[in-house]
Amino acid sequence: MGFVSTVLGFSGFGIGSVVGLVIGYYLFIYFQPNDVKDPVIRPLVEHDSQTLLKLLPEIPLWVKNPDFDRVDWLNRFIEYMWPYLDKAICKTAKTIAKPIIAEQIVKYKIDSVEFETLTLGALPPTFQGMKVYITEEKELIMEPLMKWAGNPNILIAVKAFGLRATVQVVDLQVFAYPRIILKPLVPTFPCFAKIQVSLMEKPHVDFGLKLLGADAMAIPGLYRFVQELMKDQVAKMYLWPKTLEVPIMDPKKAMKKPVGILHVKVVRATKLRKKDLMGGADPFVKFKLSDDKLPSKKTSVKHSNLNPEWNEDFTIIVKDPETQVLELHVFDWEKVGKHEQMGINVVPLKELTPDEPKVVTLDLLKSLDPEDVRNEKSRGQLELELVYRPFKEDEARTDDDPNAVEKAPDGTPDGGGLLVVIVHQAQDLEGKHHTNPYVHLVFKGEERKTKFVKKNRDPRWDEEFEFMLDEPPANDKLHMEVFSVSSRLGLLHPKENLGYVDISLADVGTCQEDSDLDSSKYGTKAVLKALIDAFHYQGVTAIADIVINHRCGTKRDERGIWCIFEGGGPDNRLNWGPSFICRDDTLFSDGKGNLDSGAGYEVAPGIDHLNPIVQNELIEWMNWLKTEVGFDGWRFDFARGYSPNITRLYIERTSPDFAVGEIWTALTYETDGKPVYNQDQHRTEILNWIQGSGGVTTAFDFTTKMILRDAVQGELWRMKDPGFYDHLFHWGLLDEISKLIAIRKRNRVNKTSGMDIMQQKQDIYVVMIDMKVMVKKPTAPKSPNLPSPNPFKSHHTIPSMGAASSREDRLSDSSDEEEEEQETTKNDPQIEPKSTKFHTPQKTTTHSPSSSSSLDDIDSRLKALNLKYNTKQGMRNAVKLYLHIGGNTPNAKWVVSEKLTNYVFVKKKSDEGSDDEGEDEGDLWVLEVGSKVRARVGPGMQLKSSGNQRRVDFVANGVWALNFFSDEEFKGFVRRYEECLFENTYGFEANESNKVKVYGKDFLGWANPEAADETMWEDAEDGFGKKGDATLMRGSEGLREEYEEVADGVGGIQSLALGALDNSFLVSGSGVQVVKNFSHGIHGKGVYVSFSDGKNYKRDVSASSAHLTPKKGLLMRAETNMMLMSPASDEKPHSRGVHQLDIETGRIVSEWKFEKDGTDITMRDITNDSKGDQLDPSGSTFLGLDDNRLCRWDMRDKHGIVQNIASASASPVLNWTQGHQFTRGTNFQCFASTGDGSIVVGSVDGKIRLYSSNSMRQAKTAFPGLGSPITHVDVTYDGKWVLGTTDTYLILISTLFIDKDGKTKTGFSGRMANKIAAPRLLKLTPLDSHLAGANNKFHGGQFSWVTEQGKHERHLVAMVGNFSVIWNFQQVKDSSHECYRNQQGLKSCYCYKIVLKDDSIVDSRFMHDKFAVSDSPEAPLVVATPMKVSSFSISSAC
């Protein structure tokens, strides 16, 4: 029976298994979903940033967060040092753990715990990024993100009760985000006294744990429990604000603070060696402590004495008795020449017992080298008496009486000690001739002085000085005097006194722990109340000075920091500790307070005013001052130190009769230390604080105070406040403004009055104020001088621009014209001053403008008062300001904006520096003219100078002109402008050394054009036109529109591909339009090849070609093929490949990929190998450019065999035949080729590099540029001239130079000599630049097109907005041309013609010179807008 059961069992198992497999397979097939789709695979570049972050969570923080910096250098350093760091860390860990383990094993009756193996493995930790905080404290705060996935081997053996067990930690992973604070920073290596480490978030710790060889973490639930337990325990100990503090050195020693006094008595010397010819010597002793910057002490001279006795006493300040030594030198005094040393020795201070006198007898040595055999010879002995008395601080009180006076420690001299004076800063200094201040200190005949600070009215020194005190200084004074010393050599005004202060040391005492009003030396509480009552009796309000931003501690905490505050009362009110200090005040805080809500204060702890306890107790104290003492109001000291909302809270909860805040900040100054004229920014800061407090308080008007201070010191012109003086006198609005003031006073209208806007339309504005006053402002009548909404009626009209001086350019000073200009200024809303608050309604009769002598009338009134004042001759940087109005209409004109104002160059933050929009770039120079012009100094100003008129024109939210009163003032302005432009561009001061650093020694002619070689501009080989024959180009003369075509397709024209044979091509976003070439332009549309429908693709071309949106077309192979380049994304121009268009069949025949060494790469631009290479029928190569690559691509394979694109199953790969991949930093932008294949490359940093046709690895010449990025570059056929395009100008460079053999060469063939020609700049006039639009930039600057040796380019063309701008090449090169006369610095050409279109111009090029006809020596110009293309012929007069 058992046998049968066994057989049946096996049979049943076998049958059941088979049946189960069959049923399972059936169910798997039957229930398999049918709607499963293949995953969509998309390139990374097509995803947005959020999707990328989800797909790639391991992207480093420095990529995702701009606050984090890359620290690859640190990771590389740790990687190289890791084998040594591993051993050092493990050794240190064993040393630290050994005593801890020995202490703990006794408690648990464990015999021993030992490390059998301890190594951190071969994988070092890596830092993903680091954030660094900049504070005003002496500390460095870093927050690195550390990740460590290591392979450590930590094996611990535990013995207990006769048994042995092993614990092994493996596969450790630690992800932590710590905060590391190095503080305080000290002037002793390693430059910080301690390290504080905190964790900003819970760390991630993962590891494997083996007990007796088994994986303990495999126990269910243990892994997660251990993980959470470790996170919580570590967080409890070190999560911010809790810290792990590692002391490095004693901060007191590191800061080199005085810790005691060394008393030195030089008794005598014996058996000195003879030094004089007569057998004697004149000895004296000179000594000092090591590492002490103070002058050495020295005794008197004992003449002709080899056993002198001095018995002279000295005191020296000791800063580190453990390391300092007393260095003593005995010299033989010489009347003439250097004193001869007789011997030397030292006394280490650590050998002295504190407070115990010690007599020391020293053998004099030749040197301190113990190996020096010369020390064996006897040189005499020196006898000293030394006493080291350390300072004693914080002695505990033994007297129970709280009012008892603390007794000085034993050994302290009566009233003696050390006076330490720290000179921090000065404010608001002003010298008559210069302001280079330093402080001279005098105390009891001893003198000290700080270093001097150049050109600073608010200097900061932070220098410490020490004076010895031998007796009580109660009757002594410290005299501090501020001087200014001239920074230049000269006998006139070498030094001047800026002021002094005497500080009585009787007023400098110690802070008692318990203090009240009765303990003040100025009187008791009863006396103060009586004084306030006397004030009230006379109707005077008593204001208390409330100093609550910061507070000085009365005791130290356990860290030794003065941060314990006591209120002085019987309760605990106002008794605060370090947790009541703002946590970003790291010098005093314990990290538990709130962040500071205002400005920091370095001298004392900043109180946390966001703490409710602080708020309530201060409010109680202030109410006590009101009710108990009798004060009526508050003056808030350093009110910037906390939020104005806090001030509002204190005022609302104490209800003072009056409150005022001290909002003191420094004025804005010029480079010479004088305040700038316009201080609106300074006043705005005060107003913002008042508004932030809800308007419940006032503030001291420091702005007006400081302006008036300078005004009464010989600068009365400063009282001509912008927005007030002009309105009253220049505009003749005295009567109207007086009436408005009377209305406001009569109806009590003020800044808090309510306004009800009753009507607000385009033609009228009506507002009711306080239901008392109604203000109605109608629309100003249309001025005939205003431009029409569209001054350019049609693109057929070519306005007159870039012409010579005309009525529109003339600045006239005639009285009739000035009256007309003043009236225009008054009525033209375009130039209505921003500071005008009220406008009188228009009447049938207008107020007559003030006469031109209004300034003289004011002067005569002031003279009648016998006041000292300055006229325009005394005003600094005085100018006359003009504004251009009317745009490009016939009524356009210059009007006087300010008859007399001044300008200043001032350095400001970029976000507050000008009215221009731009990114924050730090401190930049800004030009301010009066109250109306504020412009960042840069190419965007389009500044044009005219020396013969003493005039500069520029753009700054309008077109302005400055007229100077003398040639010197004009030249000074231009020189200062160029200095500021250099510093804004390169970040360096404009001195000679920095110019050499920027331009290089070979290109100093660019910085100093007057010293450059101008002979290269003559171009003797240029055969057309003679020097001086060219006529000035005026407006539209010589230009005629021949053809105009409307483009087909979708997306608009992107670029032109002009042919030299029968056809040219319009490249659009969806296809290519073929047009015919004629002698007067392109005309007659032919075939349109569309890419949007995919019909014009060869069957084998990849389907991705359907995404073809070309931006550029490159003609090749005798113009039968075109390479189309499409950007991979809308943000960047880079492309992964090109599409080949067969023009004869009208089809895309291939999609070529860019690849190097098997890796896909991108290109940002392509061009032909040479100027005429597109005409070569066998050409198969072209040039490519990327940010850091320059190469040549070949459509043949590496063996030179043409690839069979017809049978290619995948996209063929272009062959990289020549080129170089540069290290990061070249930032190539654009390139072009010459007739012989040489290459010019433009970069983002403004540099232009020249490469020969034989090598792309190293540039033959690198022009430094002028700082603006080169966006397009072109070169003449012969390579003699390079044209670079920037956003605001074109730069024309001569590559010619004469080598050492006297031969003329170009920079493509060799390194240019140091005598290099300065470039020419091609610019628009400020007016034309303004009309072109602030957001429109130059692009696509090119020469006319020639492809034969011996022919020369005649014109240059570039686009900006709706303008196509044309320059005559010969005129640009002609140094004697009238356009260059009276110019300073680099020569700028303003002679050009403009073709104006009614849409933005995308491309503008000259056709091949073969299409030039007899009456037009230049080929036609083709101008393309997105929807149209036009052809213009140019006459021989151009």
Distance (Å) of CA 1013 to CA 185, 1003, 1008, 1009, 1383: 53, 11, 11, 8, 17
- Which is it for strands 543-546 and 633-636: parallel, antiparallel or unpaired? parallel
Residue 264: exposure state from Cβ atoms within 10 A (0-12, 13-18, ≥19):
buried
Cβ atoms within 10 Å, residue 978: 18
Tell whether the torsion through CA atoms of 223, 226, 232 and 234 is positive or negative: negative
Distance from C-alpha of 290 to C-alpha of 323, rounded to nearest angstrom: 9
Tell whether the torsion through CA atoms of 671, 676, 680 and 683 is positive or negative: positive
Q: Is 637 a catalytic residue?
A: yes
Query: Which H or E element spans position 296?
Result: none
Distance from C-alpha of 1250 to C-alpha of 849, rounded to nearest angstrom: 61
Distance from C-alpha of 946 to C-alpha of 634, rounded to nearest angstrom: 57
Q: Which of 481, 484, 482 is nearest to 433 (CA)?
A: 484
Q: Which of 650, 522, 663, 547 is nearest to 607 (CA)?
A: 547
Q: What angle do CA 50, 55, 56 make, to 5 degrees?
A: 95
Distance (Å) of CA 87 to CA 90, 114, 584: 5, 17, 37
Distance from C-alpha of 986 to C-alpha of 1318, rounded to nearest angstrom: 19
Tokens of 885: 């109005």
Distance from C-alpha of 233 to C-alpha of 5, rounded to nearest angstrom: 62
Distance (Å) of CA 150 to CA 84, 126, 429: 16, 10, 61
* Cis omega (within 30 of 0) for bond into 841: no
Q: Reduced to 3 states, what is the DSSP secondary structure of residue 273?
A: coil
Residue 1399: left if φ>0, alpha if ψ -120 to 50, beta else—which one? Answer: beta
Q: Is 662 a catalytic residue?
A: yes
- Active-site residue, selected from the candidate residues 608, 662, 1165, 1274: 662
CB 203 within 8 A of CB 237: no
Q: Give the max Cα distance, the chain.
A: 145
Q: What is the DSSP string of 989-1014?
A: -SSHHHHHHHH-GGGHHHH-GGGS--
Distance (Å) of CA 735 to CA 738, 837, 852: 5, 15, 18
Tokens of 692: 């932030």
Q: At what angle do helices 702-711 and 680-692 cross, to 10 degrees?
A: 150
Q: Which of 328, 274, 270 is nearest to 299 (CA)?
A: 328
Distance from C-alpha of 1222 to C-alpha of 22, rounded to nearest angstrom: 64
Q: Which of 264, 272, 380, 283 is nearest to 326 (CA)?
A: 264
Distance from C-alpha of 963 to C-alpha of 957, rounded to nearest angstrom: 19
- Active-site residue, selected from the candidate residues 566, 637, 979, 1398: 637
Q: At what angle do helices 644-654 and 612-624 cross, to 10 degrees?
A: 40
| 532: Cβ contacts below 8 Å, ≥ 6 apart | 542, 629, 630, 631
What distance lies between CA 601 and its chain's CA centroid? 24
Cβ atoms within 10 Å, residue 1088: 17
What distance lies between CA 871 and its chain's CA centroid? 39
Q: Reduced to 3 states, what is the DSSP secondary structure of residue 729?
A: helix
Known catalytic residues?
Answer: 637, 662
